[in-house]
Structure 1
């Protein structure tokens, strides 16, 4: 999230909160695609992570991007922490360990998504190459220890850093050493949201397997294909997971709200100050628990929107749906991830087929998939086959969904072209981590510094 909100509209009751989600409903012709991708900055001279300050730090990169783009500065306590495009709606932000993120504008088609990503990465290179800074597309920092990771000057991150060790053993690794690609998608109605959430939650482990790309920790194999996904299993059980209640008959906007209000908050923002309120649920906040402890203790829609941004289930609901299961990766996969989900979810007929694919999966099966995929990815057993088999079925549906959309590029290619990296991987039966490990044990001869050459943007 690039900028925490300050909407001062008071909250009346739970139904008010449900209405904020319902407000996201829109006609299918207005559906958009918002793609977010993170990457690790490193010094090319010694392959160490860049810090915030200095001539080759994140601050200098943001200032350089501001000079090129002319976007609005986002500041926290006088420090630049991001940029916002006032015209297109996109933004640049920084994650806790300096991961550099583009939160893409809401776009009509995947060809535009790819142009946006290409333009962004070209601008990054323009700014960073003279600084001796490169960026790495991978799901987890492959060589750096947690202690080596820089700390960004965002107030909310300080609160989270203090809180994470209280609720899980790997939350700080999530914050400082992981990177993702995700896509934000729309829904027409509550019923449409429910189907998309269920399909997204069921297939999220499949997407994790397809994009698994974090097999190294501190310079050597860690025993996982997606250690990033494993990290999420021990980060904070209050706000993460596969949300079994989404498959109950009662699921809808209000049921999501009922879950969200019982998750402990991180902060309440008043003016430019972030007040640490960890341990207090949003429901307790609504019931007056912070009266006298913070200024203007009556909760607002801005507080609610900020709270929603601190929930981390595998699929997150706001005024749109966020698919959160994929590791960060190289250039081509920035477009492949949204292509996979747009193909599955943006054609009603294909969405129904995707639901038929997963509707009889039990919660136990979904949980076993989520637990197994981080280690074995496409080779994870499922029913009489493997995750690879399900991934191929899902890919076939996504291909047909993009064919039906018939959004053509300037070269008269439809959006299926962006699925090519997935097609190649599944045809070979390999996820990106398999390729990385093959190179590590083969051509790289155990020298993981090679990843900074072969996987840099």
Structure 2
């Protein structure tokens, strides 16, 4: 959720195309075809006091740190989330090694600067210490908060308390095959549940278990379905995505002065048809896309958004390496697709992340037998593929260590946090979705 500069619409930019032309525009920009070549990663981190993470960091202290961070000579794009989370978005890289080395160097600069102010960054999918508190006060996040409040308190918790590892891979070839766009699109939505389960790392809220191993993913499922669920399935992902964008509710209507309008029940398609409260522009459409948060978002490439932030200086490298291997190595991609394809039969007709498969991934993680079996096969395929992709021994060793510690044993990082807290998460079916307000049993 990177903030976009405010924009004043001009008459010359006003959209005049028919809906069919708008859909054609969306189909043309959502997937850029070609051989998988570039990768990227977006890392979100919670900022905390180095000496006492449970003590909230004062806004003035966060503001000073943000100002200092903006002065660093980073290669990655640096942005901030509403609750003060730091986000680094790498440049597109032509190899896994290049992506890791560049991002790791930027992270070292960020950690070093923050440490000088007595602050640190940590990888949790959901803040385990504090209630939601919004740090950014610009029009975008004020409007977002107003909009999401209509669906309950989960939205504020998502905005201010969550962090993730988002992996970006190319859309792939136009033609069918293991590296084709359609296959990769469907693979992302089924493999996504396995990745969510394997890397679940957010079982706590204000020190208490929530009933989920990935509270972050459960929060997404409790929010506005029109912008957080996946597009409907179908043979043509371009058509599915174009329809999804136009039929999604408009979160806000930007203006140069004063608070942004937060309409109710207005889809972008409705906005185009009625031209009220003002006629939308092409830039309004592009901005509208930035307010949609499905588990897989096509942005020319595929942005996988379902992985919790990981602990440690290099914990993020494992989900990046595993995901890239399962998408960009043809043999591993074929193995992964065949492994996760049967999961579609248990996912039901409801789109991710609100279908039973994704609910089990968030709640039970790899204690679920079906997800565990799929994870074992997918991680094995990834380990075999990484040397073929030129991964360093340090990366392959890190993936092997994670596999042995968690995947092989049917565990995930959230289980370590629960063990440390001296409690176990409830795995019985029907556990309620966390709201971000009260703790779950």
Q: How does the TM-score come out when normalised to structure 2?
A: 0.83
Counterparts of 1:282-321 in structure 2 under 5 Å? Answer: 282-290=268-276, 293-294=277-278, 297-300=279-282, 302-321=283-302
Counterparts of 1:281-360 in structure 2 under 5 Å? Answer: 281-290=267-276, 293-294=277-278, 297-300=279-282, 302-330=283-311, 331-360=313-342
Q: Which runs of 5+ in 1 are unaligned?
A: 70-84, 443-457
Q: Which residue of 2 aligns with 1:114?
A: 100
Note closer, same or farther for the CA distance 1:414–1:220 as it changes in structure 2 (3 Å cut).
closer
Note closer, same or farther for the CA distance 1:242–1:422 as it changes in structure 2 (3 Å cut).
farther
Note closer, same or farther for the CA distance 1:287–1:395 as it changes in structure 2 (3 Å cut).
same
Q: 1:151: Cα distance to partner?
A: 2.5
The match for 2:241 among 243, 252, 256 is: 256
Q: For 1:287, what is the secondary structure of its paired residue? A: helix
Per-residue deviation, residues 122-156 of structure 1 (Å, max 9, x unmatched): 2122221221112221111111123xx24312321
Q: Which residue of 1 aligns with 2:116?
A: 130
Counterparts of 1:8-407 in structure 2 under 5 Å? Answer: 8=13, 10=15, 12=17, 13-23=19-29, 24-28=31-35, 31-47=37-53, 48-52=55-59, 54=60, 56-57=61-62, 59-69=63-73, 90-146=76-132, 149-190=133-174, 192-243=180-231, 245-246=232-233, 248-249=234-235, 251-270=236-255, 275-279=260-264, 280-290=266-276, 293-294=277-278, 297-300=279-282, 302-330=283-311, 331-362=313-344, 364-365=346-347, 367-382=355-370, 387-405=371-389, 407=390
Normalized per residue, the structure richer in strand is 1
Q: 1:288: Cα distance to partner?
A: 3.3
Aligned equivalents of 1:3, 1:139: Cα separation in 2: 20
Per-residue deviation, residues 173-202 of structure 1 (Å, max 9, x unmatched): 111111111111112345522211211111
Note closer, same or farther for the CA distance 1:17–1:127 as it changes in structure 2 (3 Å cut).
farther
Q: Is the 8 A contact 1:41 1:49 kept in 2?
A: no
The match for 1:435 among 409, 416, 432 is: 416
Q: Which residue of 1 aligns with 2:436?
A: none
Aligned equivalents of 1:391, 1:368: Cα separation in 2: 17
Aligned equivalents of 1:174, 1:216: Cα separation in 2: 14
Aligned equivalents of 1:11, 1:42: Cα separation in 2: 48
Q: How does the TM-score come out when normalised to structure 1?
A: 0.80
271-280 or 336-345, which moves further after superposition?
Answer: 271-280
Q: Is the 8 A contact 2:202 2:214 kept in 1?
A: yes
Aligned equivalents of 1:230, 1:341: Cα separation in 2: 21
Q: Which residue of 1 aligns with 2:399?
A: 419
Deviation beyond 6 Å, 4+ runs, structure 1: none
Note closer, same or farther for the CA distance 1:11–1:399 as it changes in structure 2 (3 Å cut).
farther
Q: Is the 8 A contact 2:167 2:304 kept in 1?
A: yes
Q: 1:46: Cα distance to partner?
A: 4.1
Q: Which runs of 5+ in 2 are unaligned?
A: 349-354, 424-441
Aligned equivalents of 1:137, 1:396: Cα separation in 2: 25
C-alpha RMSD over aligned residues: 2.6
Per-residue deviation, residues 20-47 of structure 1 (Å, max 9, x unmatched): 5534424326x21110111111223543
Note closer, same or farther for the CA distance 1:276–1:348 as it changes in structure 2 (3 Å cut).
farther
Q: 1:439: Cα distance to partner?
A: 2.3
